[in-house]
Copies of this chain bind each other. A is one copy, B any other.
Amino acid sequence: MELGPPGGSGPAEPGPRLRGLRGADAAASASSLSRFGAEAGCRAPAVAAVLPAGGSGERMGVPTPKQFCPILERPLISYTLQALERVSWIKDIIVAVTRENMETMKGIIQRYQHKRISLVEAGVTRHRSIFNGLKALAEDQPNCRLSKPEVVIIHDAVRPFVEEDVLLKVVTAAQEHGASGAIRPLVSTVISPSADSCLDHSLERARYRASEMPQAFLFDVIYDAYQQCSDYDLEFGTECLHLALKYSHIKAKLVEGSPDLWKVTYKRDLYAAESIIKERISQKVCVVMDTKEDEEHVGHCLEEMLKTELNHVKVTSGQDLQQIILEQCYNFVCVNVMTSDFEETQRLLNMLEESNLSILYPVVVISVHFLDYESVPLGQKMEKVMQIREFAKEAKKRNILLSGLLIYFPQVENNRGLEEQKLRESLRQGTTIISALIKERNSGLIGQLLVA
């Protein structure tokens, strides 16, 4: 379970262990190490990561430092930690935070069950924070609590979408070259202004790159560089690759990164990150039914319709719920054909509560009921189904967003064709509503009974 899906199309897998998964964990860890060997052509080194997170986020224009800004109610830095800790061959993750934010950070680690994290105090600049992180790993320091790694990754707290793939590339390159960093093409032309704010010259865009994160270094290379570098470097410098070049004479190997590596800098980046996360956790929908017998019933029609209409979404039927929860599906459509009770929905909510699935992401559950105006008066049915508000309030406490959906099941006397057509209309409408609820994941709409 610790290996990320290739290509970054799926969500980063969570830090907290899903219950009953110790065995799978160990297996994934082994396969990840062998993958290291195969791609690198060399033995797997001991790797740690240092994450400077002492920034104040002034560019964001919000009072909260950007690494602590919430995305789906969880701080940004928790997503970055999750992305690093799912990589089993990173043994230690050192986070540098300011003294004021130390308790906040401890709270985040506890709440989201992050593992292998050590905290150090941030310095007043980025370089000083990184240096403090490196000291915690250096054996020559008196209060060193961790063992010195061969390779150290340096990453930003505000780049939550880093994939194992690029981490592996920079670590492998650092092993070989001493230093390595991810780069991206420049989006804008870079120009040099003269003293009077006029254009002095512009750089040929194709000849330059943007230096991004992660970077990786042989520990001794970067630690030596930091020990030698000047106060001016520590105060005004920003680029670790530059320090490795200047003080350790190591020319870093540059590795092409994906666009996902971008740094959350402005408020619009927070918006983008939220949309990306929402999109990633909306790729799978599980349909659970309260009967397995009748293959013809409306529940199956709804499932088929979901498959057709949400064609980018993987719709699975909830035959083996335990397994689907383990595979981190964050969206459930619970179809109640047989009764207007909540037995099946309740059973699903209990299973979700027993797993740790909703610790990291809000889980959407939609309890679907069918309405036949003929057999039960609308009012009576509605009052019964309205109980959903109470269930939803309880579920919200566990980060589960429960809504109800009532699908109109038409009965047209002596006209089977018309009946069929009207049913399809209702189901299509239901699919639109399900899609909207999953896509938006807005807790303001929980406990509502929507009508298709």
Residue in B183, B189, B269 whose CB lies within 8 Å of A239? B189
Which residues in B have their C-beta under 8 angstroms from that of A251? 194, 198-200
**Segment touching B, from A43-51, A80-88, A300-308, A431-439:** A431-439
Cβ–Cβ contact A191 & B266, under 8 A:
no
Chain B residue nearest to A449 in the complex (CB) = B451
Cβ–Cβ contact B183 & A209, under 8 A:
no
Cβ–Cβ contact A208 & B187, under 8 A:
no
Residue in B198, B211, B382 whose CB lies within 8 Å of A188? B211
Q: Is residue A333 within 8 Å, beta carbon to beta carbon, of the partner chain?
A: no
A213 to B386 CA separation, bound complex (whole angstroms): 54
A59 to B187 CA separation, bound complex (whole angstroms): 10
Q: Is residue A259 within 8 Å, beta carbon to beta carbon, of the partner chain?
A: yes
Closest Cβ–Cβ distance, residue A201 to chain B (whole Å): 8
Q: Is residue A380 within 8 Å, beta carbon to beta carbon, of the partner chain?
A: yes
Which residues in B have their C-beta under 8 angstroms from that of A207? 192
Which residues in B have their C-beta under 8 angstroms from that of A117? none
Which residues in B have their C-beta under 8 angstroms from that of A378? 379, 382-383
Cβ–Cβ contact A189 & B202, under 8 A:
no
Q: Is residue A105 within 8 Å, beta carbon to beta carbon, of the partner chain?
A: no
A189 to B209 CA separation, bound complex (whole angstroms): 9
Q: Is residue A262 within 8 Å, beta carbon to beta carbon, of the partner chain?
A: yes
Which residues in B have their C-beta under 8 angstroms from that of A269? 268, 272
Of residues 235 through 264 on chain A, the ones whose CB sits less than 8 Å from some CB of chain B are 236, 238-239, 241-242, 245, 251-255, 259, 262-263
Closest Cβ–Cβ distance, residue A160 to chain B (whole Å): 12
Which residues in B have their C-beta under 8 angstroms from that of A377? 379
Given contacts A199-B241, A254-B197, A382-B382, A451 and B451 within 8 Å (CB-CB): no
Q: Is residue A442 within 8 Å, beta carbon to beta carbon, of the partner chain?
A: yes
Which residues in B have their C-beta under 8 angstroms from that of A356? none
Interface string of A332-365 (1 = CB under 8 A from B): 0000000000000000000000000000000000
Which residues in B have their C-beta under 8 angstroms from that of A186? 190
Cβ–Cβ contact B205 & A191, under 8 A:
no
Q: Is residue A18 within 8 Å, beta carbon to beta carbon, of the partner chain?
A: no
Chain B residue nearest to A199 in the complex (CB) = B252
Cβ–Cβ contact A193 & B205, under 8 A:
no
Which residues in B have their C-beta under 8 angstroms from that of A435? 444
Of residues 153 through 194 on chain A, the ones whose CB sits less than 8 Å from some CB of chain B are 177, 179, 181, 183-184, 186-194
Q: Is residue A445 within 8 Å, beta carbon to beta carbon, of the partner chain?
A: yes
Chain B residue nearest to A444 in the complex (CB) = B436
Which residues in B have their C-beta under 8 angstroms from that of A206? 236
Given contacts A190-B208, A212-B188, A269-B272, A444 and B433 within 8 Å (CB-CB): yes
Cβ–Cβ contact B193 & A209, under 8 A:
yes
Q: Is residue A203 within 8 Å, beta carbon to beta carbon, of the partner chain?
A: yes
Q: Is residue A24 within 8 Å, beta carbon to beta carbon, of the partner chain?
A: no
Q: Which 9 A-B pairs have the closest CB atoms?
A: A379-B379, A436-B444, A271-B275, A268-B272, A188-B210, A272-B272, A198-B251, A199-B252, A189-B211
- 6 more CB-based (< 8 A) A-B contacts, given A191-B209, A199-B251, A448-B451: A190-B211, A192-B209, A268-B272, A268-B275, A271-B275, A448-B448
Residues of A within 8 A of B (CB): 59, 177, 179, 181, 183-184, 186-194, 197-203, 205-212, 236, 238-239, 241-242, 245, 251-255, 259, 262-263, 265-266, 268-269, 271-276, 377-380, 382-383, 386, 389, 432-433, 435-436, 439-440, 442, 444-445, 448-451
14 contacts between A and B (CB under 8 A): A181-B199, A183-B193, A187-B263, A188-B212, A190-B203, A193-B254, A199-B252, A199-B254, A200-B251, A202-B211, A268-B275, A379-B379, A386-B451, A433-B444
